[in-house]
Amino acid sequence: MLRYRRFEMAERVVAPEERTAAPLPEPERAREWLATMMLIRRFEERAGEMYAKAKVGGFLHLAIGEEATILGAARALRPGDYMISTYRSHGHALARGTAPEAVMAELFGRVDGCSRGRGGSMHMFDLQRRFMGGYGIVGGNLPLAAGMGMACDYLGTEDAVLCTFGDGAANQGTFGETMNLAALWRLPVVFLVSNNQFGMGTALERHSAVTELHKRGESFGVPGLRCDGMDVADTFTVCAQALERSRSERQPVLIEARTYRFRGHSMADPEEYRTREQVEQWRARDPIVSFGQRLSREGVLGEGELARLDGEAIERVDRAVDFADSSPFPEPPSLYDDVYVLGDQVGGWYSVDARTPTPHRGEDERAMPRHQLPGGAGYESEHTTSTARPIGAVQGLPDETDAEESDAEETDAEGANPDRARPDRARPDRAEREG
C-alpha cells in the first residue's frame, strides 16, 4: 500500500518581532477591525456548534485563523468595489457588512438568509454590498471575477474587483486562463490567494511545484505581491496598494497572503495530514490575539476593552442564532422561484414538471390545487395511468419541428440569424469613455 508521510512546512513561521509592523489605522478604525475579527471568530465557532446539532445542512468550511486575511482585504475595498469569494465565505460576508442574522439564517436554510435559504454555507450573496458570493467550485470564481472586471472597464467606472481563492485553486486550469485574459485585457482585478498551507489535506509542497504563489502570475503578465495573512494591518496595506495600482493602471495583480486555518478543511476533516504541534505553532500567531495585544501596547485599547469587545461579539452571535432558529423554511411552492427567467423578459421555454399525467409549468404549482400536485390527496385515484408525451406536446410550448421552422423563418437570405447573432462587444476606447 502506498503511504505518504506528513510534510513539514517548507518555510518556518516568522515570529512577530522579526517583521516590520505595518502602520495602524486611526484608533476608532483599529477598534472596528478588532471587533469585526472577533465577530467572525465567534460566528465561526458557533456555526461549528450548530452544525454538530444538525441545524446546518450540507458542508461547512470554517475560516478560524484566517480572520486577518479576510478583514484586511475587505477593508481595502471601496463601497462600489466587487468582492467574490469561495466556499469558505461566512467571514467575507460579515466583513462586507452583511448582518450576522442573515448569514446564520442562510446556514440554517431559512427564508431570511442572505440567499433566502437556497445557498447555504457555500453560497452567501449580498448584491447590495457587492459581495458576489461564495462559490462552491474550486477555481470557478476566477473567470467570474474577470467578467466583473471587464464590466467595470467596459462601463468606464473606477470600480475594482477583489477575488479570493485558496492555494489549491491555483492549480486549476481556470487560474492560468483567467490570469492570461485579465492581463491581456488589462482588467482591474486583484486576485488574492489565501495560502493556508494545504489544498484540502494536501500540503503546499506536494501539490505545487512553485510554492511562492505570488510568482505564479508573472509568466502571464500579472505582477505579484505578498503579505502576512496573519496580520490585518499588513494585509490591508498590501491589498490597498494592489487595488490602487489595479484601478489606476488597469492592471491585474496577484497577492499571496500566507495564513493558516486552525480547524480542518471542513467539519468532516479528520486532520490526519498535520500534527498538533504544527497547528500550535501557528496558533501562537493568532491574528486576533496579536492585533489585540498590539492595540493595547500602543494605547488604542483601554483596560477591560478587549473583554468588552469579545463579549459584544458573543452576544451578537447569540442573537443571530435566535433569529435564524425562528426564521421559517422556504415554502415548497417556492421551489421554482429565481430559477428561470419568466414572462416577456427573455424569449424561451418555461420550466416543465412532468411528474403529473399532464405536464404543467413548474412555476404554476403555486396556484394549483393541492390535490393536483404530485403526492396530493386523490392524485393517484384520479390519474391511474398516463401516456408520456414529448415536452413539445405541452400546450404553449413548441415541439422540435416548430422550433426548426421558427429558426428557418428567422434566418435571413445570407444564412445568418440576426436575432441570434452575438452583439458587437468591442469595448469603447478609454479616451472615448472619458471624453
The residue among 301, 326, 351 that closes a domain is 326
Q: Is the model's pLDDT at 349 over the cut of 90?
A: no
Instruction: Please report how many Cα atoms fall inside a 13 Å half-sphere around the Cα of residue 328, on the Cβ side.
Output: 4
* 304/386 same-domain check: no
The mean per-residue pLDDT over the stretch 371-399 comes to 48
- Do both 287 and 315 map to the same domain? yes
Q: Specify whether 359 is located in the same domain as 258.
A: no
Q: Do 390 and 242 belong to one domain?
A: no
Find the largest Cα–Cα distance for the chain.
Answer: 82
- Which of 300, 326, 352 is at the close of a domain? 326
pLDDT at 47 exceeding the cut of 80: yes
pLDDT at site 366:
74
Residue 130 lies in a domain: yes
Over residues 113-169, the pLDDT tens digits come to: 999 999 999 999 999 999 999 999 999 999 999 999 999 999 999 999 999 999 989
Residues 33, 167, 55: CA angle, nearest 5 degrees: 65
How many angstroms separate the CA atoms of 39 and 99, rounded?
11
Least confident of 30-44, 51-65, 195-209, 242-256: 195-209
Q: Are residues 312 and 384 in the same domain?
A: no
Residue 104 in any domain: the answer is yes
Whole-number pLDDT of residue 122: 94
Asked if 46 contacts 321 with a C-beta cutoff of 8 angstroms, the reply is yes
Judge whether 263 lies within some domain.
Answer: yes
Secondary structure, 3-state, 205-240: HHHCCCCCHHHCCHHHCCCEEEEECCCHHHHHHHHH
Identify the pLDDT of residue 20.
79
Q: What is the CATH number of the domain that holds 186?
A: 3.40.50.970
- Number of domains the chain is built from: 2
**d(C-alpha 87, C-alpha 135), whole Å:** 5
Which one of 274, 298, 326 terminates a domain?
Answer: 326
Q: Does 416 map to a domain?
A: no
- Residues 266-282 as b/e (b if ≥16 CB within 10 A, e otherwise) read bbebeeebbeeebeeeb
Specify if 4 maps to a domain.
no
Verify that 230 and 309 share a domain, yes or no.
yes
Residue 137 CB burial class (10 angstroms; 0-12, 13-18, ≥19): middle
- Specify the pairing of strand 224-228 against strand 253-258: parallel
Residues 6+ apart with CB under 8 A from 97: 126, 129
Average pLDDT in the 64-81 region?
97
Q: Do residues 390 and 291 share a domain?
A: no
Whose grid coordinates read 467578467? 147
Q: pLDDT exceeding 70 applies to what percent of the chain?
A: 77
3-state SS string for 375-403: CCCCHHHHCCCCCCCCHHHCCCCCCHHHH
**pLDDT value at residue 416:** 45
Q: What is the pLDDT of residue 315?
A: 97
The whole-number pLDDT of residue 112 equals: 97
pLDDT at position 99 over 90: yes
Same domain for 289 and 259, yes or no, is yes
398 is a domain residue? yes
Return the ∠ at Cα 270 (arms to 264 and 273), rounded to 5°. 80
Q: What is the DSSP letter of 58?
A: S
Strands 202-203 and 360-361: unpaired
Look at residue 225 and tell me whether its pLDDT is greater than 80.
yes
In a domain, 1, yes or no: no
What's the average model confidence in pLDDT over 337-357?
A: 63
| Beta carbons of 90 and 71 less than 8 angstroms apart | no
Q: How far apart, in whole angstroms, are the C-alpha atoms of residue 354 and residue 335?
A: 15
Indicate whether 432 belongs to any domain.
no
Q: How many CA atoms lie within 13 A of 130 on its CB side?
A: 17
Residue entry with cell 485574459? 181
- Are residues 342 and 321 located together in one domain of the fold? no
**For residue 9, what pLDDT is reported?**
34
Whether residues 122 and 230 fall in one domain: yes
Task: For the chain, give the percent of residues with pLDDT over 90.
Answer: 61
Q: Looking at residue 410, what is its pLDDT?
A: 46
Average pLDDT over residues 279-294: 94
Is the distance from CB of 222 to CB of 183 less than 8 angstroms?
A: yes
Taking the C-alpha atoms of residue 87 and residue 139, their distance in angstroms, rounded to an integer, is: 10
pLDDT bucket at 376, cuts 50 / 70 / 90: low
pLDDT reported for residue 352: 66
Q: Sign (positive/negative) of CA torsion 52, 54, 60, 65?
A: negative
Average pLDDT over residues 243-256: 96
- Residue 105 neighbours by CB under 8 Å, 6+ apart: 111, 112, 113, 114, 117, 320, 323, 324, 327
282 and 199 fall within a common domain: yes
- At residue 105, does pLDDT exceed 60? yes
Do the Cβ atoms of 222 and 216 come closer than 8 Å? Answer: no
Whether residue 135 contacts residue 142, with contact meaning beta carbons closer than 8 Å, is answered with: no
The domain of 52 spans 20-326
Question: Does 404 or 235 have the greater pLDDT score?
Answer: 235
CA 35 vs CA 42, 96, 160, 311, 315: distances in Å: 11, 14, 26, 10, 12
Do 222 and 195 have their domain in common?
yes
Flag whether pLDDT at 428 surpasses 70: no
Average pLDDT, the chain: 83
> Buried b / exposed e across 178-193, counting CB within 10 Å, b at 16+?
bbbbbbebbbbbbbbb
CA distances from 299 to 19, 28, 312, 394, 420 (A): 21, 12, 21, 73, 65
